[in-house]
């Protein structure tokens, strides 16, 4: 029996192929579906949901504040009338006037800032008449991973169905939240 020699180029091709198959087999678990950790959205990528509560004026005021902070314009509009509704619509217009890139960047910041719901501690409740109510409160919660407390005042009006709507929201001693950004042309 003679010695059969395999040509060098063929040996190199076969060796390279075997190495490639081995590397593919080794790496294949890492090349398939992304793991769960990589599927998690970046912080602020998803708008936090608004927990809609209604019935009492306090619940409507707290939900309106939550919707305002989270830029859920449909919820905020459904819970507002008069000045508050006009300001929700103006804020929506300002946001819609942004470029797509500006809107995405701002949304990530807004969503991160509004991640946690604020709760209202009511300190004063005045009813000028049966259909109007003024609430003075402190909004408390976590804001950018810091404890947050800020005075807030709501004017509410009873609607024709007997429910409550926010007519105005103000932050006494602070800049008016409705004028935080200039009106878009």
Q: What is the pLDDT of residues 72-116, one digit of tens each?
A: 999 999 999 999 999 999 999 999 999 999 988 888 888 877 777
- Model pLDDT, residue 159: 93
CA 13, 18, 23, 29 torsion-angle sign:
positive
- Model pLDDT, residue 178: 45
Q: Which top CATH class is 57-179?
A: alpha beta
**Average predicted confidence (pLDDT) for the chain:** 79
d(CA 88, CA 77): 7
Instruction: Using a cut of 0.75, tell me whether the model's pTM lies above it.
Output: no
Calculate the dihedral angle through the C-alpha atoms of 101, 107, 113, 118, rounding to the nearest 10 degrees.
160
Which residues, including other chains, have CB under 8 Å from residue 27's CB and lie 6 or more apart?
none
Calculate the dihedral angle through the C-alpha atoms of 98, 100, 101, 106, rounding to the nearest 10 degrees.
60
Domain ranges of the chain: 57-179
- Model pLDDT, residue 181: 41
- Model pLDDT, residue 182: 40
Question: Helices 100-113 & 57-70, crossing angle to 10 degrees?
Answer: 140
Predicted confidence (pLDDT) at residue 135 exceeds the cutoff of 90: yes
- Model pLDDT, residue 184: 41
Q: What is the pLDDT of residues 34-86, one digit of tens each?
A: 555 555 555 555 666 676 777 899 999 999 998 998 889 999 999 999 999 99
Say which range, 14-23, 103-112, 128-137, 169-178, has the weakest mean pLDDT.
14-23
Average pLDDT over every residue of 19-46: 56
Higher pLDDT, 44 or 120: 120
Average pLDDT over every residue of 141-170: 91
Higher pLDDT, 18 or 85: 85
């Amino acid at each position: 029996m003679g010695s059969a020699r395999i040509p060098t180029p063929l040996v190199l091709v076969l060796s390279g192929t075997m190495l490639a198959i081995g590397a593919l087999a080794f790496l294949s678990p890492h090349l398939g579906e992304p793991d769960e950790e990589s599927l998690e959205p970046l912080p602020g990528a998803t708008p936090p949901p608004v927990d809609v509560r209604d019935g009492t004026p306090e619940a409507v005021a707290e939900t309106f504040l939550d919707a305002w902070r989270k830029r859920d314009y449909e919820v905020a509009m459904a819970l507002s009338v008069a000045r508050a509704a006009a300001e929700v619509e103006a804020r929506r217009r300002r946001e819609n006037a942004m470029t797509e890139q500006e809107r995405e960047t701002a949304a990530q910041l807004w969503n991160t800032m509004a991640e946690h719901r604020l709760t209202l501690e009511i300190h004063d409740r005045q009813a000028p008449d049966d259909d109007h109510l003024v609430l003075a409160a402190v909004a408390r919660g976590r804001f950018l991973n810091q404890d947050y407390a800020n005075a807030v005042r709501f004017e509410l009006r009873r609607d024709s169905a007997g429910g409550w709507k926010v007519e105005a929201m103000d932050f006494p001693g602070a800049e008016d939240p409705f004028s935080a950004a200039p009106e878009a042309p």
